[in-house]
Amino acid sequence: MLERASLVEQFSTFIELANERFSRWVPDGRLMRSMSAAQNRLGEQSTPATDEQGMAQFWAIYWHRRWQAGNAEPHAALAYGHLAAFVQEACYWAAQKTTQFSSSRYTLADYFQLAIARLDTVLKSFSSERGSRLETYAYVAFKNIIRETLRQQKEIHICSDWGLLLRLSQTRLEASLRATGERDIAPAILAWRCFKAAYDPAVHYTRQLDQTDADIWSVVVREYNQQRRTLSPIPPSGEVPTLHKTLRHCAAATRTYLYPKVASLNAALPGQDEGELQDILASPEEDALLEAMVAHEELSQRRQQQANIDQVLRAALGQLPDEAQQIFTLYYQDNQTQQQIAEVLGIKQYTVSRRLSKAREAMLKEIAIWSRDTLHIPLTSDLLASINTVLEEWLARHYGALASEGSLS
């Protein structure tokens, strides 16, 4: 998902889903005019925050207070619309997190609608005086709403070990392994990355991998033994049984980390003659704060990565020939067809098609190299397909923003 660039976008656009994933940001003209007017009315001097996140938090609190005024505030409906737009990302990530670890019949779109329908409840329970950010609070609240609904309907089921490993992020797996007390987790992380790179969902079914699919495990072993020499210290060479055991351990550690076993609250404290477990349990407020901190950290990491990708793509776009940039402008910003572009430039339609493809390939190459060198992700066909989708989303958003600026001016 591409991050919204301006404050007006953050408080005036909504997610459109297609094929169970983010498609684009859809603007609401009435909210955009309202947000722009509010900024002009208050002026920059009225907002104490100087950084982007601080400004967003200022406006979130501003609109939340306008919404809380209820019937006494003539623009309460507009305030609610601005808040609904602002928490779109939090709702999307909460829904996606649930789809990663649930085998329910519900889809990402179902989870999203299930959560956003309870926005009133989230806004009523939010308090800016406690120091929490609305987007972080909403993420935790939406996730709890979805899980509680599934729990009530007995629809929350955890997938197989292999399906769990395929859905994990590296950050989550690292946290799970460190929670076990392990220090050298690099070999396990490498085995997991090789497994994800080798697995092809079009050919294999995760629940059948217990029978040791030779095609997958031969690739995993080969890739692991080639890449293990990049680690320090170099781990022993891997074989199918050892890597199979390592990945099983990763799955078990993750399950324990995400869904810890619950002991009796009246059980005695280990190694002590007095006291019970309930004496040392954190309060619900502390649990919520901890989860909010983790959610905020993950959100910050995503934002930083998005900012880095944006910088790489802007640089790649600037290196394209002038004609390629002109074709991009006509195609993405002016929404012209390839035939219309051909008539404007005085060339053939198939020439426009080839130059569009060539320009996209040049940008795709730059972001792929950056992903390999910076994130250390192997360049697989699945990764390149994913990057190509990100590139299309970025181009549509980049030139869409330019078109909006032109219409406003």
Buried-exposed string 242-269: b where 16+ CB fall within 10 A, e elsewhere? bbbebbebbbebbbebeeeeeeeeeeee
| Per-residue model confidence (pLDDT) at position 320 | 92
Considering the domain delimited by 7-152, tell me its CATH architecture: Up-down Bundle (1.20)
| Per-residue model confidence (pLDDT) at position 76 | 75
Q: Which distant-in-sequence residues (6+ apart) come within 8 Å of 189 by Cβ? A: 170, 173, 174, 177
- Burial category of 322 from C-beta neighbours within 10 Å (exposed 0-12, middle 13-18, buried 19 and up): exposed
User: How many Å apart are CA 399 and CA 405, to the nearest integer?
Assistant: 10
Rounded to the nearest angstrom, the gap between the alpha carbon of residue 319 and the centroid of all alpha carbons in its chain is 29
User: How many Å apart are CA 139 and CA 316, to the nearest integer?
Assistant: 33
A 10 A CB-CB count for 339 gives 11
| Per-residue model confidence (pLDDT) at position 86 | 94
| Per-residue model confidence (pLDDT) at position 272 | 52
Mean pLDDT, 10 residues at a time, the chain of 409 residues? 85 88 88 89 56 80 86 71 93 84 72 89 81 81 82 55 79 88 90 84 50 74 90 89 91 76 49 50 43 52 73 90 92 88 92 91 87 69 69 82 65
| Per-residue model confidence (pLDDT) at position 209 | 52
* Measured CA distances, 6 to 13, 57, 236, 309 (Å): 11, 13, 50, 17
| Per-residue model confidence (pLDDT) at position 323 | 92
Q: Domain segments of the chain: what residues?
A: 7-152, 179-258, 304-408
CB of 111 within 8 A of CB of 36? no
| Pairing mode, strands 22-27 and 13-17 | antiparallel
| Per-residue model confidence (pLDDT) at position 278 | 45
